[in-house]
Amino acid sequence: NIEEKLLLKNRGGLCYEINSLLYYFLCDCGFKVYRIAGTLYDPKTRKWNPDDGHALIVLQHRYENYIIDAGFASYLPLHPVPFHGDSVTS
């Protein structure tokens, strides 16, 4: 199970495991969040990965939407990514 995998065996989890845990935590903290599925683009191969192959979170705060993603391996954003379209660095 996920508890054994993450806490006892010190292993990482898949995006749908880690982001689901974060989703429920954020819900319990009173945040307005949604779980969504996304399709990833691989710039090295110039191809799209399978449809809806990644799970992530959208958080609404002060009338603005942010991507929250704790399950994206080495490309993990270190802070919420706003939807405003500007380039962000983390």
Q: Among all residues, which ones are annotated catalytic?
A: 15, 54, 69
User: In 10-63, where does DSSP find H-type helix?
Assistant: 15-28
Distances (CA, A) of 70 to 47, 51, 62: 23, 20, 22
Q: Residues near 85 by Cβ (< 8 Å), separated by ≥ 6? A: none
